[in-house]
C-alpha cells in the first residue's frame, strides 16, 4: 500500500477526529502533523492519540491567515496532502500556500468572506486552472454534508438511477448535550449559516425563501430512521451548488435540517438583541464583533461530547428513473454521540465530519482519487469512498423510499 504524510490544519472538534482517525490508519499515513494557532490544543490531542493508539504524531503552531508561515511549515514537514479543517475564512490562504509549496489540498467547508455571511464555491473553483497547471489536486467540501452527501449522489448516479431528477438532503441531530443553548460546531460559522436567506435549486434557477427564523420559513415533519418524526427546515447548504452543476438530469435539489423549538427560540432572541451581528460595534471605546463575543460565551463545541446522548441521522432521498421506470431511494447513516465520544473523544457532529475528511485524505494519499485541478466529491469515483465509510465508522444504509416530501 502506498503511504504518505499528511498535515492537518485546525485543532477543533473536527481536527481532533481527523487526527485520531489518521492515527488509526497508520498503515496509510506514515507521518501525521497537527497544526493550529493553539499549539496547546494540538499537544492535548497528541497525548490522547498516543494513549489510545500508541501512534505518535507531530504538532506545530501556525497562523492559518499567514500564507508565508504556512508555506514554511509545509516545506519543513513535506506532506503529500494538507487537510484544512480550520475556519472557512482561511481556505484561500491555505490553497495559496499549497500552490506555492507544491502540495495537494482538501477541506470540509467552502470559503466564506469574513465581512459577508455568504458562501459559494466560485472563489475556490477559480483556482482550478492554477492547480491543474501545477499538476496538483484540490478536493473541496469533504465532510458529511457537504462531502458524503455528494458521494451518495454520485453512487446513486453510478449504480441506482439512470437519471436523478430530485434530491432532498435531510440532516437530523436527535441528540441532547444538556446545555440550554449550544452549537455543534464553531458558533460563529454555524449562526452565520442558519440565519441566512434560504435558497434551493429548481428548474435551472435558484429560488429564495425566508430564513429559518423568519415568518414564511419552509419546514415539514420527516420520519427519520431511529430518530422518528422531526420538524425539518429548508436551509441553504453549499453542496447544492456543486450538485446542481454536476448531476445529470437534475430538476430540483433541496437541503433540510432539524432544529428544536428551544434552539430556534434562543437564536431568535439573540438575533433580536443584535448578538448575531457580524459587523463591528463600539463597546466602551473598543471595536467588537457581537457574534464573536457570543462565541466566547457559548460552550465550546469540541467539549460537548462528554455528556452528549442520542444520534445523528443524515442522508439523501433521490428520485429518478431506472430502466425506464420511476424509482426513489434513501441512503443514510446513523451515528451515535456516545459511541463517537468513546472512540475519539468527540460528539457525533464532529465525528461525521472528521471521518469523511480522513477517508478523502486516505484516497488522495494512496492515489485512488487523483487528478489535476479543483474537484467536488461527486466528480470522483464513489465506490472506494462508500466502502471506506463502512470500514471506518460511518456505515450506510440503502432503502427504497415510499414516503412523501413537500412539492
Q: 203 with 321, same domain? A: yes
Among the listed residues 372, 396, 358, 385, the one whose alpha carbon sits nearest the alpha carbon of residue 6: 358
Phi and psi (nearest 5°) for 121? Answer: -80, -10
Distance CA 321, CA 118 (A): 34
pLDDT of residue 307: 87
Q: 9 with 110, same domain? A: yes
Cell 492554477, located at residue: 130
In a domain, 392, yes or no: no
Q: 191 with 323, same domain? A: yes
What would the mean pLDDT of 279-290 be, rounded to a whole number? 90
In a domain, 399, yes or no: no
Spatial neighbors of 51 by CB under 8 A, at least 6 apart, are none
Q: 64 with 209, same domain? A: no
Residue 179 carries which DSSP code? Answer: S
Least confident of 43-57, 243-257, 285-299: 285-299
What would the mean pLDDT of 138-163 be, rounded to a whole number? 98
Distance CA 194, CA 90 (A): 20
Distance CA 249, CA 137 (A): 27
Rg (CA), the chain: 20
Q: Is the pTM of the predicted complex or chain greater than 0.85? A: yes
Burial degree of 310 (CB within 10 A; 0-12, 13-18, 19+): middle
Residues 384, 387, 388, CA angle at the centre, nearest 5°?
85
pLDDT averaged over every residue in the chain: 94
pLDDT of residue 1: 60
What would the mean pLDDT of 105-134 be, rounded to a whole number? 91
pLDDT of residue 161: 98
What would the mean pLDDT of 195-218 be, rounded to a whole number? 94
The CATH number assigned to the domain holding 327 equals: 3.30.360.10
Distance CA 247, CA 323 (A): 18
Residues, the chain: 407
Burial degree of 302 (CB within 10 A; 0-12, 13-18, 19+): buried
Distance CA 182, CA 51 (A): 29
What is the three-class DSSP state of 224? strand
Q: For residue 61, give its domain range.
A: 4-144+352-386
The CATH number assigned to the domain holding 20 equals: 3.40.50.720
Spatial neighbors of 304 by CB under 8 A, at least 6 apart, are 13, 177, 179, 182, 184, 347
Q: 79 with 167, same domain? A: no
Q: 175 with 315, same domain? A: yes
Amino acid at each position: 500500500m502506498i503511504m504518505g504524510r499528511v498535515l492537518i490544519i485546525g485543532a477543533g472538534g473536527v481536527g481532533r477526529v481527523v487526527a485520531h482517525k489518521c492515527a488509526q490508519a497508520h498503515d496509510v499515513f506514515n507521518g501525521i502533523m497537527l497544526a493550529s494557532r493553539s499549539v496547546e490544543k494540538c499537544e492535548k490531542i497528541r497525548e490522547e492519540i498516543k494513549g489510545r493508539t500508541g501512534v505518535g504524531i507531530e504538532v506545530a503552531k501556525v497562523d492559518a491567515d499567514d500564507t508565508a508561515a504556512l508555506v514554511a511549515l509545509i516545506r519543513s514537514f513535506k506532506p503529500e496532502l494538507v487537510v484544512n479543517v480550520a475556519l472557512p475564512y482561511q481556505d484561500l490562504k491555505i490553497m495559496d500556500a499549497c500552490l506555492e509549496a507544491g502540495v495537494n489540498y482538501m477541506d470540509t467547508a467552502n470559503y466564506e468572506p469574513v465581512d459577508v455571511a455568504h458562501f459559494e464555491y466560485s472563489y475556490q473553483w477559480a483556482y482550478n486552472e492554477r492547480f491543474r497547471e501545477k499538476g496538483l489536486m484540490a478536493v473541496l467540501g469533504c465532510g458529511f454534508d457537504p462531502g458524503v452527501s455528494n458521494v451518495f449522489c454520485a453512487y446513486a448516479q453510478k449504480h441506482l438511477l439512470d437519471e436523478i431528477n430530485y434530491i432532498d438532503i435531510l440532516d437530523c441531530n436527535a441528540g441532547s448535550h444538556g446545555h440550554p443553548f449550544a452549537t455543534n460546531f464553531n458558533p460563529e460559522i454555524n449562526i452565520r449559516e442558519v440565519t441566512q436567506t434560504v435558497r434551493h435549486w429548481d428548474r435551472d434557477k435558484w429560488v429564495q425563501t425566508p430564513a429559518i427564523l423568519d415568518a414564511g420559513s419552509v419546514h415539514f415533519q420527516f420520519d427519520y430512521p431511529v430518530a422518528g418524526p422531526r420538524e425539518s427546515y429548508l436551509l441553504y447548504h453549499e453542496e447544492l451548488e456543486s450538485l446542481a452543476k454536476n448531476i445529470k438530469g437534475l430538476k430540483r435539489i433541496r437541503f433540510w435540517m432539524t432544529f428544536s423549538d428551544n434552539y430556534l427560540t434562543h437564536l431568535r432572541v439573540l438575533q433580536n438583541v443584535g448578538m448575531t451581528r457580524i459587523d463591528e460595534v463600539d463597546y466602551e471605546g473598543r471595536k467588537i464583533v457581537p457574534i464573536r463575543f457570543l462565541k466566547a460565551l457559548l460552550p465550546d463545541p469540541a467539549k460537548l461530547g462528554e455528556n452528549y446522548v442520542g444520534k445523528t441521522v443524515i442522508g439523501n432521498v433521490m428520485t429518478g428513473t431506472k430502466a425506464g421506470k420511476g424509482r426513489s431511494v434513501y441512503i443514510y447513516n446513523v451515528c451515535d454521540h456516545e459511541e463517537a465520544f468513546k472512540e475519539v473523544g468527540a460528539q457525533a457532529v464532529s465525528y461525521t465530519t472528521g471521518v469523511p475528511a480522513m477517508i478523502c485524505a486516505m484516497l488522495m494519499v494512496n492515489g485512488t482519487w487523483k487528478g489535476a485541478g479543483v474537484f467536488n466529491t461527486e466528480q470522483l469515483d464513489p465506490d472506494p469512498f462508500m466502502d471506506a465509510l463502512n470500514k471506518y465508522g460511518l456505515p450506510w444504509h440503502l432503502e427504497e423510499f415510499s414516503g412523501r416530501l413537500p412539492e
